[in-house]
């Protein structure tokens, strides 16, 4: 083997030289390739870094330019045009009828911004929320009340699902019924209905004050007076007092401990008026409301205790502890007085309007009551005749045969 190799080596001397030369050539080639490769790689890396920096600074320029009105229009990056939306679209108010279930609605309603200033012109509105059995039978009176104030109020109606709404309701109430459920008077499901009303009203970011009314309620002042009173108020109007009697403290149950103690237990009637902060507190309450659902049933009358107690525990600092809705309990019994057509006259209404109470932490006095109840359907025609004038409605339609009734009518 060795011999053979030697021979062959000897035989191809010039070959051998060229081979060595070839190897050297290959090595040089390889070195060149490697050098070119390394150079290319380095160049690539440097270039990619440079480009990255470039896009960063480009983005930065775009950002700083965007605040300047005249942005030089950059060529569209890709042919696909994307729909862009502004804040207005994010805040669009959904239709009153929607397909959110209870849980979804409460969750959506409790969404809020932690920045208290609005980055746009916001005209605050008052949400008038009607909790009714059937039709809002005093609607024609409310129609006169709201006339000419569009954009400053929202209306929501929660009526029993069994009510089929065939009544021709006036235009301002048209299409304002929210998805409703069965309500039994005095039952805890009444508060569920109130939370449903509040939730729907909270979906409109413009709503600032929230008033709960029934179909038998009437306004006692014109719209601008009621609007200013509520919008300018620093207080909430959830009636709350400690009633030591069996129909007060007597309805408390020790099972409500530790969330609610007897000392915290309050009573009041349900017709409230509150601001957005308290409304948010009510719809997102996951501590006290379940306690009432569980332990305040039947003769406990949750509607007379839940809100007064909740507001007194969580929001007592700004609660006036009184209601803005007048109601006559003077006749005794478990229900307040109803008013018939014959009870109504100018003096009666003026008397309710003239009652004065402390307003905004006692800094001033103002009307005690903005609303009154309970007016039966038979009062409508007389109310339409006398109320717009007494309450100085701003844009009401004057009745054709108008006669101001100054004396009580039997
Ligand atoms: C509404 O319900 C009443 C009975 O409660 C019925 O007589 C009437 O026909 C219903 N109207 C419509 C439009 O369904
Ligand atoms: C609130 O009160 C001030 C004066 O006290 C008044 O100038 C302003 O118009 C009121 N705001 C509303 C919305 O009525
Ligand atoms: C309302 O009641 C609470 C106690 O429940 C009390 O702390 C608060 O001072 C009362 N507010 C007013 C204005 O009376
Ligand atoms: C209202 O009263 C409070 C004290 O109760 C006081 O700090 C505030 O300055 C008063 N505001 C006005 C407008 O008088
Ligand atoms: C609205 O009612 C108030 C009294 O509450 C009155 O001073 C005001 O003039 C009324 N507005 C109009 C436009 O009549």
Residue 124 CB burial class (10 angstroms; 0-12, 13-18, ≥19): middle
CA dist., res. 319 & res. 312, Å (int):
8
| Spacing, Cα 363 to ligand 3 middle (Å) | 16
User: Ligand 5 pocket: which of 225, 395, 398 to mutate (most atoms <8 Å of CB)?
Assistant: 225
Amino acid 67: pLDDT = 46
Using CA of residue 16, residue 20, residue 25, residue 26, what is the dihedral sign?
positive
- Residue 223 CA neighbour count, 13 Å, CB half: 22
| Spacing, Cα 220 to ligand 5 middle (Å) | 11
CA dist., res. 323 & res. 236, Å (int):
9
Measured by CA distance, the residue closest to atom 7 of ligand 3 is: 316
- The model's pLDDT over 112-141, given as tens digits with 9 standing for 90+, comes to 999 989 999 999 999 999 999 988 999 999
- Confidence band, pLDDT 50/70/90 cuts, at residue 341: confident
- The model's pLDDT over 280-294, given as tens digits with 9 standing for 90+, comes to 999 999 999 999 999
Place of tokens 């309710």: 352
Name the closest ligand to CA 227.
2
Mean predicted confidence (pLDDT) in 153-159: 95
CA dist., res. 6 & res. 263, Å (int):
116
| Spacing, Cα 357 to ligand 5 middle (Å) | 19
Measured by CA distance, the residue closest to atom 8 of ligand 3 is: 316
- pTM of the entire structure? 0.78
Name the closest ligand to CA 135.
1
Ligand 4 pocket, CB under 6 A: 361, 363
CA dist., res. 180 & res. 112, Å (int):
24
Higher pLDDT, 77 or 313: 313
| Spacing, Cα 233 to ligand 2 middle (Å) | 10
Map residue 199 onto helix, strand or coil.
helix
Tally of CB atoms within 10 A around 317 = 7
Closest atom of ligand 4 to 364 CA is 14
Mean predicted confidence (pLDDT) in 80-104: 87
Amino acid 340: pLDDT = 86
- The model's pLDDT over 133-148, given as tens digits with 9 standing for 90+, comes to 988 999 999 999 999 9
Measured by CA distance, the residue closest to atom 9 of ligand 1 is: 166
Closest atom of ligand 1 to 164 CA is 1
CA dist., res. 309 & res. 259, Å (int):
11
Measured by CA distance, the residue closest to atom 13 of ligand 4 is: 363
Residue 132: which H helix or E strand, with range?
strand 125-132
Which of 42-51, 53-62, 123-132 has the lowest average pLDDT? 53-62
| Spacing, Cα 164 to ligand 1 middle (Å) | 6
- Go through the domains of the chain in sequence order and give each one's CATH number: 93-111+121-323 (3.90.550)
Nearest to 196 by CA among 183, 179, 210, 182: 179
Checking if the pLDDT of 163 tops 50, the result is yes
For residue 111, what are its two tokens? 């969404």
Closest atom of ligand 4 to 360 CA is 1
Higher pLDDT, 402 or 343: 343
- The model's pLDDT over 210-263, given as tens digits with 9 standing for 90+, comes to 999 999 999 999 999 999 999 999 999 999 999 999 989 999 999 999 999 999
Residue 392 CB less than 6 A away from ligand 5:
yes
CA dist., res. 124 & res. 23, Å (int):
89
| Spacing, Cα 342 to ligand 2 middle (Å) | 38
User: Ligand 2 pocket: which of 232, 233, 235, 365 to mutate (most atoms <8 Å of CB)?
Assistant: 232
Checking if the pLDDT of 402 tops 50, the result is no
Mean predicted confidence (pLDDT) in 302-317: 95
Higher pLDDT, 60 or 100: 100
User: Ligand 5 pocket: which of 392, 394, 395, 398 to mutate (most atoms <8 Å of CB)?
Assistant: 392
Measured by CA distance, the residue closest to atom 11 of ligand 3 is: 320
Measured by CA distance, the residue closest to atom 8 of ligand 4 is: 363
Euclidean distance between the first and the last CA atom of the chain, given in angstroms as a whole number: 143
Checking if the pLDDT of 267 tops 80, the result is yes
Checking if the pLDDT of 101 tops 50, the result is yes
Amino acid 12: pLDDT = 47
Nearest to 314 by CA among 294, 338, 342, 284: 284
- The model's pLDDT over 342-356, given as tens digits with 9 standing for 90+, comes to 889 999 999 999 999
User: Ligand 1 pocket: which of 160, 162, 166 to mutate (most atoms <8 Å of CB)?
Assistant: 166
| Spacing, Cα 313 to ligand 3 middle (Å) | 10
Ligand 3 pocket, CB under 6 A: 240, 312, 316, 319-321
pLDDT mean across residues, the chain: 83
CA dist., res. 406 & res. 385, Å (int):
12
- Confidence band, pLDDT 50/70/90 cuts, at residue 69: very low
Name the closest ligand to CA 161.
1
Residue 224 CB less than 6 A away from ligand 5:
yes
How large a percentage of the chain has pLDDT more than 90?
Answer: 57
Would you say 121 and 225 are in contact if contact means Cβ atoms under 8 Å apart?
A: no
- Confidence band, pLDDT 50/70/90 cuts, at residue 82: confident
């Amino acid at each position: 083997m060795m011999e053979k190799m030697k021979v062959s080596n000897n035989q191809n001397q010039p070959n051998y030289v060229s081979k060595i030369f070839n190897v050297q050539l290959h090595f040089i080639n390889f070195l060149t390739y490697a050098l070119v490769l390394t150079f290319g790689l380095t160049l690539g890396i440097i270039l990619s870094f440079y480009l990255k920096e470039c896009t960063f600074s480009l983005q930065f320029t775009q950002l700083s330019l965007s605040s300047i009105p005249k942005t030089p229009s950059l060529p569209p990056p890709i042919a696909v045009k994307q729909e862009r939306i502004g804040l207005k679209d994010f805040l669009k108010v959904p239709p009153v009828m929607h397909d959110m279930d209870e849980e979804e609605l409460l969750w959506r309603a409790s969404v809020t911004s932690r920045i208290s200033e609005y980055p746009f012109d916001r005209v605050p509105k008052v949400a008038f929320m009607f909790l009714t059995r059937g039709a809002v039978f005093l609607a024609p009176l409310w129609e006169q009340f709201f006339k000419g104030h569009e954009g400053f109020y929202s209306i929501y109606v929660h009526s029993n699902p069994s009510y089929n709404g065939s009544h021709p309701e006036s235009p301002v109430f048209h299409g304002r019924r929210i998805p409703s459920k069965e309500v039994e008077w005095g039952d805890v499901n009444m508060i569920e209905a109130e939370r449903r009303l509040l939730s729907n009203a909270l979906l409109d970011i413009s709503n600032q004050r929230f008033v709960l009314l029934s179909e038998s309620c009437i306004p006692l002042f014109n719209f601008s007076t009621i609007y200013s009173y509520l919008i300018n108020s620093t207080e909430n109007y959830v009636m709350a007092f400690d009633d030591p009697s069996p129909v007060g403290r007597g309805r408390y149950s020790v099972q409500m401990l530790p969330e609610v103690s007897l000392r915290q237990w309050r009573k009041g009637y349900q017709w409230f008026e509150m601001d957005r902060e308290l409304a948010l507190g009510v719809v997102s309450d996951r501590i006290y409301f379940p306690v009432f659902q569980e332990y305040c049933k039947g003769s406990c009358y949750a509607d007379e205790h839940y809100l007064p107690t909740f507001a007194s525990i969580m929001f007592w600092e700004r609660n006036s502890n009184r209601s803005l809705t007048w109601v006559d309990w003077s006749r005794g019994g478990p229900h307040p007085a109803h008013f018939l057509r014959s009870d109504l006259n100018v003096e009666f209404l003026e008397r309710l309007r003239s009652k004065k109470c402390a307003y905004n932490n006692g800094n001033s006095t103002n009307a005690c009551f903005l609303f009154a109840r309970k007016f039966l359907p038979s009062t409508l025609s007389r109310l339409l005749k006398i109320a717009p004038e007494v309450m100085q409605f701003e844009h009401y339609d004057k009745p054709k045969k108008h006669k101001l009734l100054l004396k009580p009518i039997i």
